[in-house]
Amino acid sequence: MRTLTLAALGCLLLDLPYLDAARAEAPATAVPVHLSLDAAVHEALTREIRVNIAQSELARAKALVKTARAAMLPTLFGHASYLRLERDRRSNGQLVAGRDQLLADLTLTVPLVVPKPWVETSHAADQVEVARLDVDEARRQVALATAQAYLTVIAQQRNLEVQTRALENAQAHYSYAHTRFEGGIGNQLDDVRAGQELESVRAQLERSRAALYDSQEALGVLVGRNGPVDAVASVTLPNAPALDGAIKDADTRRADVLSDRARLHASQNAADESWVDYAPLLVAQAQPFYHEPGTVAAPHLGWQLQVLLTIPFYDGGAREALYAQRTAALTQDRAQLEATRRRATSEVRVAVESLRRADATLTSAARASELAAEALRMANLAYEAGAVTNIEVIDAERRARDADTSVAVAEDALRRARFDLLNATGRFP
């Protein structure tokens, strides 16, 4: 917090109504709700449509496993029919077909050797794993967007603090210059320059307030609340690993890398097991029946058992085309995985370098802010002593405000660099 000289503070007290007007702020459209970063990410993951869609795809993939598994399990169906003829039909006095016929049967089908449904069930299970990892990737993307919006709110809060301090300094200087002018020991030019600087700072403060509210509304949309959401004053992020460990984590923990690797595994299995399209099928059927009236050809009660062997000799080239499709998908998934791994590794290297540079930038910006504060203090003392005009004071105020803004920007860059490294290594969320 920047300190004010006693003389400036005394002059400030002479103009309290003006300061109150400067500090007065119209109420926001909606009062922001305060949430921690963890709470904001949790709510976003609960409500965000991308996560819900991915979870629905996971449920669909699980249902497809049941569908594929059904083809290798026994089935039982019942049938019934009624047939009416114009009269009983007889041959040599024997009933061949009754005028009113009722037929009912049960058909039990038991797959004995069905390689294709077995393999298709395994493939569907692979897709469940892919869908599960896609859910994790959707969660990562939502958490990433929410955290970035959250950090933007913190940066806007910090910028608002800088502009508020700048307004206090400008107000103090204006009050002092105005009091001197009214007392006959100052000049009107100093008074006008101080007033102009005060209004400029106030305009920047209003822009900062608008930017803060805009970022709060954006965070509220991501969180899924019908209104703005404010961030807590600070966020503590865990330390990220060194470069070698970070690259290893990116390859073993990132949801997008794991998802692409699972997709490649599923495509490889599908291509390797294309032989099942040429495998024969062996199915057994048992059928007990009831027939009324019973005849020589169709007794009253009976049963039949059938074993059916199906050998696919020729299908017009459909199996070759299907294999070509699987091979193309395998090639695409392999290329996609390599691209994702390269991107992940690059993001880790960039994040590590950005973190190192951001830390050095913040150190220099903090030192520059301290020097700018000292320069402003000296300029105020020199102006009060009549050694300089208020041009030096206004220039020192602007430099101090710019230095504080640079510190706020450097703090935000450091937070984002640390967060980007956590995200690049798969350690967030």
Does 172 fall in a domain? yes
Inter-CA distances, 298 with 82, 291, 369, Å: 14, 7, 103
pLDDT in tens, the chain (429 residues): 333 333 333 333 334 343 344 444 545 567 888 899 889 999 999 988 889 999 999 999 999 999 999 999 999 999 999 999 888 888 887 888 888 889 999 999 999 999 989 999 999 999 999 999 999 999 999 999 999 999 999 999 999 999 999 999 999 989 988 898 888 887 888 889 889 999 999 999 999 999 999 999 999 999 988 899 999 867 777 777 788 899 999 999 999 999 999 999 999 999 999 999 999 999 999 999 998 888 777 788 999 999 999 999 998 999 999 999 999 999 999 999 999 999 999 999 999 999 999 999 999 999 999 999 999 999 989 988 888 888 889 999 999 999 999 999 999 999 999 999 999 999 887
Query: How far apart, in whole angstroms, are the C-alpha atoms of residue 177 and residue 192?
Result: 9
| Domain extent at residue 290 | 6-24+32-83+98-424
Does 93 fall in a domain? no
Does 127 fall in a domain? yes
Work out how many domains the chain is built from and give that number: 1
- The torsion angle over the Cα atoms of residues 133, 341, 222 and 34, rounded to 10 degrees, is 100
Does 89 fall in a domain? no
Q: What integer pLDDT is reported at residue 28 of this predicted model?
A: 54
Q: Is 80 helix (H, G, I), strand (E, B) or coil?
A: strand
Does 64 fall in a domain? yes
Q: What pTM, to 2 d.p., does this model score? A: 0.76
Which CATH number belongs to the domain containing residue 111 in this structure? 1.20.1600.10
Q: Provide CB contacts within 8 A for 33, sequence distance 6+.
A: 220, 225, 227, 228, 229, 230
Asked if 188 and 390 touch (Cβ cutoff 8 Å), the reply is no
pLDDT tens-digit map of 259-317: 999 999 999 999 999 999 999 999 999 999 998 888 777 788 999 999 999 999 998 99
Does 389 fall in a domain? yes
Q: Sign of torsion, CA 322 323 327 328?
A: negative
Does 88 fall in a domain? no
pLDDT tens-digit map of 82-103: 999 888 888 887 888 888 889 9
CB atoms under 10 Å from CB of 73, counted, come to 12
Does 1 fall in a domain? no
